[in-house]
Structure 1
Amino acid sequence: MLRRRFWLKAAMLSALAPISSVGLAQQAFSTNGAENIDATHLVELETQLKNGLRVVTPEQLQFVQLVVLRVRQGIVPRAMVNLLYKWALERNPKVPYPYFEYAMRALSKRRGIAL
């Protein structure tokens, strides 16, 4: 009985050891996928935002154009726009624009950027 209990504990401990070290290794080297997107974009930013966020009203189009202008001026980082774009699509793939606008305004305000 004691021998069986010993082997059971040994098996459980040996099974848990690799899991914890793998988790730490992945966290230490994790990167943000939106920041990995560099200058090799296949689509212009304005086209990506208009089509991907499903812009339908003139007010929405005006906001997207303002964001694109701020990115071109170097005021808003492209990585931030990419991150919020991906987040909005994950949040609601059918209607992502409201999530993008809300997050963009909130994060810009927090960073002191006027939109």
Structure 2
Amino acid sequence: DVRECLARAGLLLEGAPVLYLSGYKGGQVNPAKGDFVFNCSAIYELMPTDVRLCQPAIFSGKVLSALGSIIAGIGRPMTDAMGTCGKAGQSVPSSGGGNMFLVIDENDEITIGGV
């Protein structure tokens, strides 16, 4: 359970809900400006004693600012996002990875739309 992992790490406190973004699909990055945007199919507000499902929303912001806001990685590291990225025949190799869950601190340059 995600809430149990967050509680054990001291990251789920009364009065400080955590948003859990699930089901990333689609997205893009503008490397010239450092902007990113992704769609997530569900957002859950996690509290010590409750979970509330919110509407799907867009997760967007500045890449370097978001990376600098990571305060914890929970779960085993994974490196299974190998492939290509691009459109209209302009693909480039890409890869990614990280912990199963990343905890990102609040940041004015990161937006979760609809919440």
Higher helix share: 1
TM-score scaled by structure 2?
0.26
Higher strand share: 2
TM-score scaled by structure 1?
0.26
Structure showing greater Rg: 1
